């Protein structure tokens, strides 16, 4: 009865595709509707080649679908439920600690970039 192991592998494959911040952000963008590669690349501030590679991965796993419009390739979520389901995971993740940590970093950076009169300490 290897079905348990097979299902686990299938799920693990899915999770591996989602285990990358850029790809998650792509899915989040596509949640708002169809987008072409250049638009996505601008939104994420990434080179189009990288975005294209990520999209190829997601497409290979049937998470997104593609259609051509003129010389653009327009992508959309194959199953919009995917994006909803991902957001359901937010309570599982310790976002608060990370945001606070980022704010500390921002604060530290602000101190560095705007040194006071007696910056010699």
Partner DNA sequence: TGCAAATATGCAGCATCTTGCAAATGTGAG
Partner DNA sequence: CTCACATTTGCAAGATGCTGCATATTTGCA
Binding site for DNA (CB under 7 A): 16, 19-20, 22, 36-38, 41, 47-53, 55-57, 66, 68, 70-74
**Residue 89 or 114 with smaller CB distance to a copy of itself:** 89
C-beta of 83: minimal distance to a copy of itself in Å? 11
Cα separation of the two ends of the chain: 68
Give the number of other Cβ atoms within 10 Å of residue 86's Cβ.
14
Interface residues with a copy of itself (CB under 8 A) are 2-16, 18-25, 28, 62-63, 79, 81-82, 85-86, 88-95, 98-99, 102
**Residue 106 or 111 with smaller CB distance to a copy of itself:** 106
Q: Residue 55 class from Cβ within 10 Å (0-12 exposed, 13-18 middle, 19+ buried)?
A: buried
**Residue 31 or 73 with smaller CB distance to DNA:** 73
Residue 43, contacted partner among a copy of itself, DNA, none, CB below 5-8 A by kind: none
**Residue 37 or 83 with smaller CB distance to DNA:** 37
What backbone phi and psi angles, to 5 degrees, belong to 74?
Answer: -105, 130
Task: Report the half-sphere exposure of 70 (CA within 13 A, side-chain side).
Answer: 3
C-beta of 20: minimal distance to DNA in Å? 4
Q: How far is CA 67 from CA 23, 73, 76, in A?
A: 19, 6, 8
């Amino acid at each position: 009865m290897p079905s348990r192991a097979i299902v686990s592998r299938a799920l693990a494959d899915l999770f591996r595709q989602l285990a990358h911040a850029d790809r998650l952000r792509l899915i989040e963008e596509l949640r708002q509707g169809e987008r072409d590669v250049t638009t996505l690349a601008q939104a994420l501030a990434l080179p189009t080649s990288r975005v294209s590679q990520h999209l190829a991965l997601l497409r290979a796993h049937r998470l997104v679908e593609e259609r051509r419009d003129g010389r653009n390739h327009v992508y959309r979520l194959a199953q919009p439920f995917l994006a909803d389901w991902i957001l359901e995971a937010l309570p599982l993740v310790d976002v608060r600690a990370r945001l606070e940590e980022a704010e500390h970093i921002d604060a530290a950076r602000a101190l560095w970039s705007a040194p006071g009169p007696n910056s010699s300490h």
